[in-house]
Amino acid sequence: MAQKVLVIKLGSAVITKTNGDINKRVIQKIVSDISRLSKSYKIVLVSSGAVSSGKKYIENYKGTLLQRKVAAAIGNPILIEIYRNYFKKFGLTVAQALCERGHFSDRKQFLQLRDTFKTFWAHNVIPVVNENDVISDLELKFSDNDELATLLAIAFDAETLVLCTSVGGFLDTNKQIIKEVKSIDTTVMSLVKKEEKSEFGLGGMLSKLTFTRLATNLGIHVVMCGLQSDTPIVDALGRKNGTWFHAKKSTLKNRQKWLASGSITLGNIKVDKGAAKAILERKSLLTVGIVAT
């Protein structure tokens, strides 16, 4: 059987200490799990931590956009070297892949990106992915690495997307982890406090839930989990850790999934009722149905 794709996303809050240094004990557990899972899956590791690793080298760091860019440039080689050393112990090689939002919105670049990752896997290389902060544009960037991980999962038709969180999963009103969620409806969304955001990262539970809904709607299982156990990723896939979000059945073709996720809206059009009906039925939009742009 062909190996399924597994995308694992690590936020800054789960892999860094309070001083911003990478928590190597956590990295060791993650790498051990990934080395074990790499026998069964093609793996993509999306890892934050570059900015938090590099910001201590910037005097009077205030977190401005330019300072974040510089911190990321300093922190990325620090982060990838840590991963390289730990994966080497398991006989695995890592490659750093710095992505931009345009890699997903431009169809040609998107297909080139997919081919590159397939070549990584063909040579038993684990891609460690982060946003290319140095040249990312404020208006054309990922909202956070939850979005980046989700777009990668959709791009490769992943079986499962793992989002690691400092709270251990998706919580109910009593701060207890909900074991499984079959559908992300208004009741589920109401459990999220919009002001919640991690200390080190840009995202939060609202971001994770938003992209979880996108992924599950396109046929990808999502699990939000913590990293407290000795084998946290393995436990998460075995539904022993975190919250399991069930995938919905998707009949969309790969290009349709790309349009539903990776493309960027550049404008708006207004269509008549007949054209709207055709779009909902996944038929072509004819110019005669456009009433305003």
148/285 same-domain check: no
Query: Coil, helix or strand for 191?
Result: coil
User: Is 269 a residue whose pLDDT tops 50?
Assistant: yes
Write out pLDDT tens, residues 204-246.
788 889 899 999 999 999 999 999 999 999 999 999 999 999 9
Q: Which residue has the higher pLDDT, 141 or 115?
A: 115
97/149 same-domain check: yes
pTM of the predicted model as reported, rounded to 2 decimal places: 0.84
The CATH number of residue 119's host domain is: 3.40.1160.10
pLDDT, position 199? 46
Look-up of token digits 């990922």: 142
User: Is 170 a residue whose pLDDT tops 80?
Assistant: yes
Write out pLDDT tens, residues 63-83.
888 898 999 999 999 999 999
271/147 same-domain check: no
pLDDT, position 26? 95
Asked whether the beta carbons of 227 and 26 are under 8 A apart, the reply is yes
For residues 105-128, average pLDDT: 92
pLDDT, position 201? 41
By residue range, what is the domain housing residue 292? 267-293
How many Cβ atoms sit within 10 Å of the Cβ of residue 91? 9
237/163 same-domain check: yes
Please report, rounded to a whole number, the percentage of residues in the chain having pLDDT higher than 90: 53
258/130 same-domain check: yes
142 falls in which pLDDT band (50, 70, 90)?
low
Angle of helix 145-155 relative to helix 107-122, nearest 10 degrees, comes to 80
For residues 251-277, average pLDDT: 72
- For the four alpha carbons of 73, 75, 80 and 81, in that order, the dihedral sign comes to positive
186/279 same-domain check: no
Contacts (Cβ under 8 Å, ≥6 apart) of 222: 160, 161, 162, 163, 212, 215, 216, 244, 245, 247
User: Is 172 a residue whose pLDDT tops 70?
Assistant: yes
Q: How many domains does the chain have?
A: 2
82/180 same-domain check: yes
Mean pLDDT for the chain overall? 86
107/182 same-domain check: yes
211/272 same-domain check: no
Maximum CA pair distance of the chain? 62
255 falls in which pLDDT band (50, 70, 90)?
low
For residues 273-293, average pLDDT: 81
User: Is 203 a residue whose pLDDT tops 50?
Assistant: no
Q: Which residue has the higher pLDDT, 106 or 44?
A: 44
CA distance 97 to 121: 13
pLDDT, position 249? 87
User: Is 176 a residue whose pLDDT tops 70?
Assistant: yes
54/139 same-domain check: yes
Burial grade of 171 (CB within 10 A; 0-12, 13-18, 19 or more): middle
275/222 same-domain check: no
100/221 same-domain check: yes
pLDDT, position 200? 43
